[in-house]
Chains A and B, each alone.
Chain A
Amino acid sequence: MLQVSIYRYNPETDQQPYMQDFQFDTEGKDLMVLDVLEQLKARDSSVTYRRSCREGVCGSDGLNINGKNGLACITPLSDTVKNNKLVIRPLPGLPVIRDLIVDMSMFYAQYEKIQPYLQNNTPAPAIERLQSPEDRAKLDGLYECILCACCSTSCPSFWWNPDRFIGPAGLLQAYRFLADTRDTATDERLSRLDDPFSVFRCHGIQNCVNVCPKGLNPTRAIGHIRTMLLTRAT
């Protein structure tokens, strides 16, 4: 029997959050963590979490699984369970709304700050704005982010300053638009990032790289932004 321990908190009825233990029979199958949650919810319908696509595309079910952030739907038990224990908590650092559901407002506010849309001040052509295959390749490893927040909520700099440090997810997207040859707002974008918090609160500990379910590397993108800022200002 798998020992499952789930963070529970209902602000309407609970004074304090608590951990609830369940015994779970995997019947010898290597289930995904989300499958376990689904079956526990069938047993106790009050267990609350977000989920949608169940295949690592939508980014809804980012959770702290045995101490490491990840998507429940693509984390097999064999990857995470040690000593027969599965501890599931909400993503750290964000306010808990209920059980495993966190309020992502601060995360989205930082994403909004980097203006995550293409800006081009030249007249729109009759067809798409074209890019060479080489220029398009610069966006690989950046555009794939699904905004699950696993990286930003594993980052101590984001825990301490979620209102001032943009965080790895936002910065990965910031670089996605800085690296895009079709975007003409590069200088304005860099000007907004030059302060001591937005980018430079990153101390390169790479927790973000360690947890990204899509295998992306926000630390490298942050390094590129830093190089662009330095090149522009020196």
Chain B
Amino acid sequence: MVTAITSFGRSGTSDWLVQRVSGVILLAYFVFIAAVVVTGVDYAGWKALFGQTWVRVFSLMAVLSLAAHAWIGLWAVVTDYLTERMMGTSGNVLRISAQLVIALILFVYVVWGVQILWGY
């Protein structure tokens, strides 16, 4: 048992499941958005589309999935490469810093996403 407190759900099984489910939600969302764009959409149509509650809920679901997906994926990347084994003594400082920056960006995206979806 390896202790890791910076991973998304603390459990590898949980992170694995969240990564898969969020991936499917993101795929579905991008297929939906691509289909709308491909069929041609003007400003009024776009505004009417996002005026519907289910589109806003679906979009928020995609934003939250993106945050979880990015956290889990980037956590795996930084714990592979930004480590004391790879970078020497600065590894842990660099990794924690990178994780803080990633967490901050994802938090801003989520709040900003909510504002865009319900603020207009």
A residues neighboring B (CB under 8 Å): 156-157, 160-161, 163-164, 191-201, 203, 226, 229-230, 233-234
A226 to B14, CA, bound (A): 11
A171 to B73, CA, bound (A): 22
Mark each residue of chain B from 1 to 32: 1 if its CB lies under 8 Å from any CB of chain A, else 0.
Answer: 11110010011111111000000000000000
Which of A157, A192, A194 makes the CB contact (< 8 A) with B11?
A194
Using Cβ atoms and an 8 Å threshold, which residues of chain B touch A226? 13, 16
Using Cβ atoms and an 8 Å threshold, which residues of chain A touch B10? 196
Using Cβ atoms and an 8 Å threshold, which residues of chain B touch A157? 80
A201 to B81, CA, bound (A): 13
Which of B12, B85, B86 makes the CB contact (< 8 A) with A200?
B12
Which B residue sits closest to A192, measured CB to CB? Answer: B1
Question: Cβ of B79 < 8 Å from any Cβ of A?
Answer: yes
Using Cβ atoms and an 8 Å threshold, which residues of chain B touch A161? 79-80, 83, 85
Q: Ordered nearest first, which 4 A-B pairs have the shortest CB separation?
A: A200-B12, A196-B12, A197-B2, A160-B80
A contact patch SS: loop
Q: Is the CB of A191 within 8 A of B1?
A: yes
CB distance from B13 to the nearest CB of A (A): 4
Which B residue sits closest to A198, measured CB to CB? Answer: B2
Q: Is the CB of B11 within 8 A of A195?
A: yes
B contact patch SS: helix
Q: Which of B3, B12, B75 has the most CB of A within 10 A?
A: B12
Which of B12, B16, B17, B85 makes the CB contact (< 8 A) with A197?
B12
Question: Size of chain B's interface in residues, with CB distance under 8 A?
Answer: 21
CB distance from A112 to the nearest CB of B (A): 14
Mark each residue of chain B from 29 to 49: 1 if its CB lies under 8 Å from any CB of chain A, else 0.
Answer: 000000000000000000000
Using Cβ atoms and an 8 Å threshold, which residues of chain B touch A156? 80
Using Cβ atoms and an 8 Å threshold, which residues of chain A touch B11? 194-196, 233
Given known pairs A164-B2, A194-B1, A230-B17, the reply for A199 and B80 (CB within 8 Å) is no
Query: What are 24 A-to-B residue pairs whose CB atoms are below 8 Å?
Result: A160-B81, A160-B85, A161-B80, A161-B85, A164-B2, A191-B1, A193-B12, A194-B13, A195-B1, A196-B10, A196-B11, A196-B75, A197-B4, A197-B79, A198-B2, A198-B12, A200-B12, A200-B16, A226-B13, A229-B12, A229-B13, A233-B11, A233-B13, A233-B14
